[in-house]
């Protein structure tokens, strides 16, 4: 299955994942203009791939079976639309689009054309989180009462940014919510089996109104920290999601689930995929350690190309749309304000 990779910055992790799956040879890489970055990526991971700066032409030329879209969020739509209409398998980075309306059109298109849409929610591949999912399905802690997901990242510590497009709502669809919140919101239904959630309260903050990039100053109108409280339809359970991309030296996900008979806690290192799980039911407590894991969604895709066949398969565009919907609800319900005054910046 010949693969075209669109994007070299976010595309770097996809290039590494794909290199570990010989079923998906990358034959072409498209970049927006940074040919040097594309050459470095190709030399390291896919030396036989050709390089182009025209993603749409690459999709239209033929000879491609799968397109991996890892470009900035506002550049997704045209390439994804073209690839789906040509019946290709499309793996699109999150969020699908800067807004729910565009994402819904892509999800509808994926459902109505021969093409298939996949979202690489890599946290679903964590062995620790998959273990937690099985434990919750078996009700080892009893009826679910509360679930908390804290997701920390350090990509935006300090005033400089290598990601100018991630500072604007129109290009990124959000800040920490778009980077991390979509993953946390996807994990809620995937882990608990409770499909429909509504936001009951939320707040968002940003630390700076202006960041410095290689090309000069860039204004910031998105969140760096966000928190939401949610509840599922048809269940008394409650949830809290907190995401931060300004936590110094910490890249980690922590899940805590409290049930009527016990507590489940999982911590996963975002850097190497290692994890720790603790299950405490009062009468007994046990802990399990998980070795480093690449959390590579392409391995599962290679094993099961029928992406909508079961809950254990990779995520679909509908899953990506559902997560983005919650991001948009949080943003609509809370006005992002700067934590620092002009004198502090």
Residue 157: phi, psi to the nearest 5?
A: -70, 130
Judge if 151 and 107 occupy the same domain. no
Judge if 115 and 177 occupy the same domain. no
pLDDT of the residue at 169: 94
Judge if 225 and 339 occupy the same domain. yes
Judge if 115 and 146 occupy the same domain. no
Please give the average per-residue pLDDT across 122-146, as a whole number. 96
pTM of the model: 0.93
**Banded pLDDT at 345 (limits 50, 70, 90):** very low
pLDDT one-digit tens code per residue, 252-267: 999 999 999 999 999 9
pLDDT one-digit tens code per residue, 159-177: 999 999 999 999 999 999 9
| Residue 208 confidence (pLDDT) above 60 | yes
Judge if 241 and 306 occupy the same domain. yes
Which residues, in sequence order, are CB contacts of 344 under 8 Å at separation 6+?
Answer: none
| CA atoms within 13 A of residue 172's CA, in its CB half-sphere | 23
Judge if 83 and 144 occupy the same domain. no
Judge if 112 and 258 occupy the same domain. no
| Residue 311 confidence (pLDDT) above 50 | no
| Cβ pair 11, 68 in contact under 8 A | yes
CB crowding 10-47: b at 16 or more within 10 Å, else e: bbbbbbebbbebeebbbbbbbbbeeeebbeebbeebbe
Judge if 188 and 113 occupy the same domain. no
Which residues constitute the domain of residue 127?
Answer: 123-344
Q: Residue 183 is encoded by which pair of tokens?
A: 């993953």
Q: Which residue, 119, 143, 167, sits at the end of a domain? A: 119
As for how many domains the chain has, the answer is 2
**Banded pLDDT at 301 (limits 50, 70, 90):** very high
**CATH number of domain containing 128:** 3.30.360.10
- For residue 168, give Cα distances in angstroms to 12, 244, 272: 22, 17, 29
Judge if 130 and 217 occupy the same domain. yes
Tell me the C-alpha distance between 272 and 286, whole Å: 23
Judge if 254 and 310 occupy the same domain. yes
Place of tokens 């907190």: 242
**CATH number of domain containing 91:** 3.40.50.720
**Banded pLDDT at 282 (limits 50, 70, 90):** confident
Mean pLDDT for the chain overall: 92
Judge if 14 and 96 occupy the same domain. yes
| SS3 of residue 34 by DSSP | coil
Q: Residue 66 is encoded by which pair of tokens?
A: 């799968």
| Residue 5 confidence (pLDDT) above 50 | yes
């Amino acid at each position: 299955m010949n693969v075209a990779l669109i994007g070299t910055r976010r595309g770097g992790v996809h290039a590494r994942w794909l290199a570990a799956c010989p079923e998906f040879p990358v034959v072409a890489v498209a970049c927006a203009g940074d040919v040097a970055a594309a050459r470095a990526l190709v030399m390291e991971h896919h030396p036989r791939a050709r390089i182009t700066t025209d993603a749409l032409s690459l999709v239209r030329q033929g000879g491609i079976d799968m397109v991996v879209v890892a470009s900035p969020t506002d550049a997704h739509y045209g390439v994804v639309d073209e690839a789906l209409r040509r019946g290709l398998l499309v793996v699109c980075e999150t969020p699908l689009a800067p807004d729910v309306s565009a994402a819904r059109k892509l999800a509808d298109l994926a459902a109505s054309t021969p093409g298939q849409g996949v979202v690489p929610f890599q946290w679903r591949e964590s062995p620790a989180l998959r273990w937690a999912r099985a434990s919750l399905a078996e009700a080892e802690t009893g009826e679910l009462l509360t679930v908390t997901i804290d997701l920390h990242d350090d990509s935006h510590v300090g005033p400089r940014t290598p990601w100018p497009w991630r500072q604007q709502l129109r290009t990124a669809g959000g800040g920490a919510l778009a980077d991390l919140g979509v993953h946390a919101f996807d994990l809620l239904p995937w882990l608990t089996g409770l499909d429909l959630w509504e936001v009951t309260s939320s707040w968002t903050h940003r630390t700076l109104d202006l960041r410095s990039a290689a090309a000069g100053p860039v204004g910031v109108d998105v969140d760096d920290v966000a928190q939401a409280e949610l509840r599922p339809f048809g269940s008394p359970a409650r949830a809290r999601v907190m995401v931060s991309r300004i936590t110094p030296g910490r890249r980690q996900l922590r899940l805590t689930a409290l049930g009527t008979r016990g507590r489940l806690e999982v911590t996963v290192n975002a850097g190497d995929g290692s994890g720790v799980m603790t299950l405490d039911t009062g009468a007994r407590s046990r802990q399990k350690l998980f070795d480093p894991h690449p959390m590579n969604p392409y391995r599962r895709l290679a094993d099961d190309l029928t992406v909508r066949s079961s809950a254990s398969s990779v995520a679909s565009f509908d899953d990506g749309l559902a997560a983005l919907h919650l991001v948009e609800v949080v943003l609509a319900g809370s006005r992002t304000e700067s934590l620092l005054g002009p004198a502090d910046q």
